[in-house]
Amino acid sequence: MTELLTIEEASDALRSGQVTSIDLTESSLSRIEAVDERVGAFIAVNDSARIQAQRADVELTAKMDRGPLHGIPFGLKDILATSDQPTTANSLVLDTAWGNGYDSVVTERVRNAGAIIMGKLVMSEFAIGTPDSEKPFPIPRNPWDLERSPAGSSSGTGIAISTGMVLGGIGTDTGGSVRSPASWNGHTGLKVTFGRVPKWGCVPLGYSLDSIGPMARSAWDCGAILNVIAGYDSRDITASREPTVDYLDGIKDGISGLRIGIPVPYFFDHPEVAIDQRVAVEKVIQQLEALGANARQVELPHSDIAKEANTITMLSEAFAYHHPDMGSARWSEYGRNTRMTIGSASLFAASDYVQAQRFRSWYTREAAKLMNEVDVLVTPTHPTTAALSAEMGDPLRRPKQPSFTGPFNLLGYPALALPAGFSSSGLPFSAQIIGAPFSEALLLRAGYAYQQTTDWHLRVPPIVTAGENNADN
């Protein structure tokens, strides 16, 4: 099976002279050529990638080291403004001039860290709609099974990382859009505390829920990315002034004494949780216990209602942003699922939104009480492995399903999704580690400890080997 480098490995190899940034970039471009047509990860590949790599090699040779991302092939979800490429949010509706000539805060920071921006990655339309074959955008497919969904909304980032087209990337998460693609594509993804990463230059979905987070193969890699993108910026009124830390400092210190809460009600006992998914997460908890953690069952009450409150909040805030276009002749320019999903918020009353916020306040207090008793919670990231793409287009599907990610968007808590094995049919399982606000360093340390004892995060979809063999013929 083809081996793909982590950012940690590639960064070390660059500094030891084993590889150059040009080597890594050419490898990424080769994988894009061999695989992307089948999986639909890229909206656009950056013509300047080789020039960026040459500059990185010159700087590294001159000992102008910008940190672990320097010279690393990297991808951006096409929801972030980039000065050298258009931003579409995977939609015909977004103004073609949106984002022209400037970088988002996150894009700025990634560039300044010396990452090689390989291009803009496919996403769910406006971070909420499922793919629509009638629109002129690539259809993203799960690299472990092309008939299945890669999840959203950061679909392209998840696909590109799992196939090695990039070594790291950026996603956004309003109801699970970093963690769900990480879960179904078999890599690591971190949803950060609300406000931890500035959102200026990012197309909004839910004003009070949106977060921008790192996606990569490993917890270490996510920590390296977070070191670059975290921290206050005055251009984002929701950005937190909470001081950042070095998210790699102490990541190897182990988890002896870590207090794990297992919220069984809803997260483990919901009837739609697949038995093999639950067992896989239970094995993660057992492995964390073997590493020194202490686990016990707890309850985060009414998390089923938290899912509904998150949905009401997200759709209401999305509808507020899109109302001018949805109320005009542009309705049909939205993808079918997008317009039906966002448009459904027109059926909510103001009282629904208010009641969701009242519940949110109560739920936040209950969660804070629980997090005084434990350090982290562990749950499945998703109730099942990747669903068939044909099942994903129904706009009524979302309201009927449980969500193990949305409640933590409602709280604004950080949460790390990490690979937890594979089903009998070869689809990735995923576990989610959740912490109190601004506990990203702790989550990454727990994830790192687990990943030193497993190699699930290093597994490669068979399509990568097949694509490279085809490229050689």
The residues that are catalytic are 77, 153, 177
Give the tokens for residue 465. Answer: 């080997």
Q: Distance between CA 94 and CA 321 in Å, rounded?
A: 11
CB 258 within 8 A of CB 446: yes
β-pairing verdict for 73-77 and 116-121:
parallel
Phi-psi region of 369 (alpha: psi -120 to 50; beta: other; left: phi over 0): alpha
Closest CA to 371 of 284, 308, 443: 443
Give the tokens for residue 339. Answer: 């317009």
Q: Lay out the sheet containing 116-121: strands in order across.
A: 42-45, 116-121, 73-77, 168-173, 211-216, 188-191, 415-422, 428-435, 376-380, 259-263, 294-298
How is 211-261 classified by DSSP, letter by letter?
EEEEEESSHHHHHHHHHHH-S--TT-TT---PPP--TTTTTTS--TT-EEE
SS3 label, residue 132: coil
Which stretches within 40-138 are classed as H helix? 49-61, 105-112
Which stretches within 63-194 are classed as H helix? 105-112, 155-162, 179-185
CB 167 within 8 A of CB 6: yes
Give the tokens for residue 173. Answer: 């998460």
**Measured on CA atoms in the order 285, 289, 292, 293, is the torsion positive or negative?**
positive
SS3 label, residue 369: helix
Whole-number Cα distances in Å, 85 to 32, 131, 228, 351: 18, 22, 21, 41
CB 144 within 8 A of CB 185: yes
| Integer Rg of the chain from CA | 21
SS3 label, residue 309: helix
Whole-number Cα distances in Å, 15 to 8, 61, 62, 227: 11, 9, 11, 19
